[in-house]
C-alpha cells in the first residue's frame, strides 16, 4: 500500500533528520497551521497525583509537570 | 489545586520534553535513534505503562513556567520549537500512527512522566487504536470574491449622478463579498456532505486571521479531517474537484498531518466555543458531532 509522502514535514528544519539523510520532499508548513494543531490540538498530558490509579504504586516525589498554551498557563501542582 | 513554587533549576539541569505517545514497535527504536528535536536535543524513548513516549532532555531553565510564559510570546522561539516538535512527530509517524502531544509538555523526569502516563494509559491506548491507519488533512476555504477591484461601472439609472453610481458599485461589492463568504461556507458544508463516506471524523479550528495568516481572501472555514491513509489521496482529489466547481473561493489543503486535531475530544455542538464557518453554522447537521478545537480550560 502506498502511504502518502508526509509533505507536512518541512524540508529544511533545524529538525529531526540525521545528518546525511536525504532531504524530504515538500514545501514549508505554514506556522499558523502548525500552531492551530500544536497549541489547540495534541493530547494534554497532565496528572493529578491524588487520583487513585489502579495497579500503579505512587511514589512520593516532588515534581512539577508543565502544560501551557498561549492562552493560558496552567501549572499542575504536585504534592511535595 | 495550588501552585507550589519550585526553586529555579540548577544550571545544567534538564527537563523531559514530550513529543508523542506510541505503541511499542521495533521500528520506533530505529527511527528515534539519530533524531534530534527541540533545542537540537536527541530524541529517546521512554517505556510507560505499556506505551512508549518520545522525549528529549531539554535545558530545564528554558522550560520553567516563567521562561515559557515569556518565550511563548516570542514568535521566533515558538516557531523553532513548533517545527522541531512536528518534525519529530512526523518522523515517528512513518512507522505507524502516533499520538502527538500538545506543544511544551514538560516533565521533571522520567518517573514523573511515567506517573502521568499511568493515569491516562487507557485513554491513550484507546485513542491510538481509533486513530490507527488514519491521517489528518487540513482544509481551509477562503472567500476571495468581492475583494478584487470594483467592477466597471454598469449602465446607470437615467439621471443618476456620479455619487449614486459610486454607491451602487460599493453595494455591488459588498454583496459580492457576502456572496463569496456564503460560497465559502457552503463549500465547507458540501465537502462534509459529499465526503462523509470517506471521512472518519472532522473538527473545526478557528478561522485564521491576523499577522500569521496568509491570503488572499478571508478564511471562512478552517477544518481538519481524519481520513484513512489509503483514501487520503482520494479525499484530497475530491476536495480540489469540489473547490474547482465553486466561484469566488480559494481552497488550501494541508497535510497529511499526524492527527493532532483528533487527539482532543470534540466540543459539544452549540457551545459558544464551537467553531466552524464564523460561528455555529458548521455544526448543524454535522455528521460526526465534531466541533471546534479550542485551547480552553481543562
Q: Does A1 touch chain B (CB under 8 A)?
A: yes
Non-local CB neighbours of B70 within 8 Å, separated by 6+ positions:
none
pLDDT band at B149 (very low <50, low <70, confident <90, very high): low
- The C-alpha atoms of residue B225 and residue B202 are separated, in whole angstroms, by 4
Cis peptide before B256 (omega within 30 of 0): yes
User: pLDDT higher for A62 or B186?
Assistant: B186
Interface of B with A in 145-204 (CB under 8 A): none
Q: CA dihedral in degrees (B169, B170, B176, B182; nearest 10)?
A: -160
Interface of B with A in 202-221 (CB under 8 A): 205-206, 208, 212-214
Stretch B56-80: mean pLDDT, rounded?
Answer: 84
Non-local CB neighbours of A80 within 8 Å, separated by 6+ positions:
A62, B4
User: pLDDT higher for B61 or A4?
Assistant: B61
Judged against a pLDDT cut of 90, whether residue B81 lies above it is answered with yes
* Residue whose C-alpha is closest to residue A40's, from B264, B140, B268, B100: B264
Interface test with A, best of B33, B102, B275 (most A CBs within 10 A): B102
pLDDT score at B278: 40
| Biggest alpha carbon–alpha carbon distance for chain A | 51
Chain B residues touching A18 at Cβ < 8 A:
34-35
Stretch B281-290: mean pLDDT, rounded?
Answer: 35
pLDDT score at B225: 98
Judged against a pLDDT cut of 70, whether residue A52 lies above it is answered with no
pLDDT score at A60: 23
Non-local CB neighbours of B183 within 8 Å, separated by 6+ positions:
B143, B145, B246, B247, B248, B249
- The C-alpha atoms of residue B186 and residue B49 are separated, in whole angstroms, by 45
> How would you class A51 by CB atoms within 10 Å of its CB: exposed for 0-12, middle for 13-18, buried for 19 or more?
exposed
Mean pLDDT of chain A: 48
Judged against a pLDDT cut of 60, whether residue B82 lies above it is answered with yes
**Which residue is it, cell 480552553?**
B296
Q: Indicate the helix (H) or strand (E) that contains B249.
A: strand B249-257
Judged against a pLDDT cut of 90, whether residue B181 lies above it is answered with yes
Q: Does B37 touch chain A (CB under 8 A)?
A: yes
pLDDT band at B147 (very low <50, low <70, confident <90, very high): low
Question: Within 13 Å of residue A32, how many CA atoms lie on the same side as its CB?
Answer: 14
Interface of B with A in 64-123 (CB under 8 A): 64-65, 68-69, 72-73, 75, 78-80, 82-88, 90-91, 93-94, 99-109, 111-113, 115-120
Chain B residues touching A76 at Cβ < 8 A:
1
Q: Does B46 touch chain A (CB under 8 A)?
A: no
pTM of the shown model: 0.73
DSSP label at residue B261: G
Interface of A with B in 14-73 (CB under 8 A): 14-18, 29-49, 51, 53, 56, 58-59, 61-73
Percent of chain B with pLDDT over 90: 48
- The C-alpha atoms of residue B31 and residue B190 are separated, in whole angstroms, by 40
* Residue whose C-alpha is closest to residue B51's, from B25, B30, B16: B25
* A27-43 pLDDT, tens digit each: 589 988 998 899 888 88
- The C-alpha atoms of residue B98 and residue B23 are separated, in whole angstroms, by 8
Question: Within 13 Å of residue A6, how many CA atoms lie on the same side as its CB?
Answer: 23
Judged against a pLDDT cut of 50, whether residue A75 lies above it is answered with no
pLDDT score at B258: 96
Chain A residues touching B112 at Cβ < 8 A:
61, 63-65, 78
Non-local CB neighbours of A77 within 8 Å, separated by 6+ positions:
A64, B1, B2, B3, B4
* B14-26 pLDDT, tens digit each: 989 999 999 998 8
Contact B84 A10 (CB under 8 A): no
User: pLDDT higher for A63 or B32?
Assistant: B32
Number of H helices, E strands in chain B: 6, 9
Question: B276 vs A40, B9, B45, B272, B295, CA distance in Å?
Answer: 15, 43, 37, 11, 15
ipTM of the complex: 0.80
Residue of B3, B104, B295 with shortest CB distance to A40: B295
Mind telling me how many Å the CA of B99 is from chain A's nearest CA? 7
Stretch B42-47: mean pLDDT, rounded?
Answer: 96
Percent of chain B with pLDDT over 70: 82
Neighbours of B137 (CB within 10 A): 23
Q: Is residue B145 a contact partner of residue B186, using CB atoms and an 8 Å limit?
A: no
Judged against a pLDDT cut of 70, whether residue B178 lies above it is answered with yes
DSSP label at residue B218: E
Interface test with B, best of A7, A11, A66, A72 (most B CBs within 10 A): A66
Chain A residues touching B18 at Cβ < 8 A:
45
Mind telling me how many Å the CA of B283 is from chain A's nearest CA? 19
Mean pLDDT of chain B: 83
Stretch A66-75: mean pLDDT, rounded?
Answer: 31
Stretch B215-238: mean pLDDT, rounded?
Answer: 95
Dihedral angle sign, alpha carbons of residues B90, B95, B96, B98? negative
Q: Which of B140-149, B156-165, B235-244 has the lowest mean pLDDT?
A: B156-165
Amino acid at each position: 500500500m502506498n502511504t502518502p509522502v508526509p509533505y507536512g514535514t518541512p524540508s529544511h528544519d533545524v529538525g529531526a533528520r540525521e545528518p546525511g539523510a536525504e532531504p524530504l520532499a515538500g514545501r514549508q508548513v505554514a506556522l499558523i497551521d502548525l500552531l492551530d494543531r500544536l497549541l489547540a490540538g495534541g493530547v494534554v498530558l497532565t496528572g493529578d497525583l491524588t487520583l487513585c490509579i489502579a495497579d500503579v504504586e505512587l511514589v512520593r516525589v516532588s515534581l512539577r509537570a508543565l502544560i501551557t498554551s498561549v492562552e493560558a498557563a496552567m501549572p499542575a501542582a504536585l504534592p511535595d | 489545586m495550588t501552585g507550589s513554587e519550585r526553586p529555579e533549576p540548577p544550571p545544567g539541569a534538564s527537563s523531559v520534553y514530550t513529543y508523542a505517545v506510541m505503541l511499542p514497535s521495533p521500528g520506533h527504536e530505529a527511527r528515534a535513534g539519530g533524531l534530534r528535536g527541540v533545542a537540537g536535543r536527541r530524541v529517546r524513548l521512554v517505556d510507560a505503562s505499556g506505551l512508549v513516549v518520545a522525549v528529549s532532555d531539554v535545558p530545564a531553565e528554558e522550560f520553567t513556567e516563567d521562561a515559557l510564559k515569556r518565550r511563548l510570546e516570542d514568535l521566533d522561539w515558538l516557531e523553532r520549537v513548533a517545527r522541531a516538535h512536528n518534525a519529530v512527530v512526523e518522523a515517528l509517524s512513518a512507522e505507524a500512527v502516533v499520538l502527538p502531544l500538545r506543544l511544551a509538555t514538560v516533565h521533571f523526569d522520567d518517573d514523573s512522566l511515567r506517573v502521568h502516563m499511568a493515569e491516562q494509559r487507557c485513554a491513550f491506548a484507546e485513542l491510538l487504536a481509533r486513530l490507527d491507519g488514519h491521517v489528518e488533512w487540513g482544509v481551509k476555504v477562503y472567500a476571495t470574491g468581492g475583494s478584487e477591484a470594483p467592477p466597471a461601472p454598469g449602465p446607470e439609472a437615467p439621471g443618476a449622478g456620479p455619487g449614486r453610481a459610486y454607491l451602487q458599485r460599493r453595494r455591488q461589492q459588498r454583496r459580492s463579498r457576502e456572496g463569496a463568504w456564503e460560497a465559502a461556507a457552503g463549500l465547507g458544508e458540501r465537502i462534509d456532505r459529499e465526503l462523509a463516506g470517506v471521512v472518519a471524523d472532522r473538527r473545526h479550528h478557528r478561522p485564521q486571521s491576523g499577522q500569521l495568516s496568509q491570503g488572499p481572501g478571508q478564511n471562512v472555514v478552517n477544518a481538519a479531517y481524519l481520513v484513512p491513509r489509503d483514501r487520503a489521496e482520494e479525499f484530497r482529489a475530491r476536495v480540489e474537484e469540489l473547490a474547482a466547481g465553486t466561484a469566488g473561493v480559494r481552497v488550501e489543503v494541508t497535510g497529511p498531518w499526524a492527527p493532532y486535531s483528533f487527539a482532543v475530544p470534540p466540543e459539544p455542538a452549540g457551545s459558544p466555543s464551537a467553531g466552524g464557518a464564523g460561528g455555529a453554522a458548521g455544526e448543524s447537521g454535522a455528521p460526526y458531532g465534531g466541533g471546534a478545537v479550542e485551547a480552553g480550560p481543562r
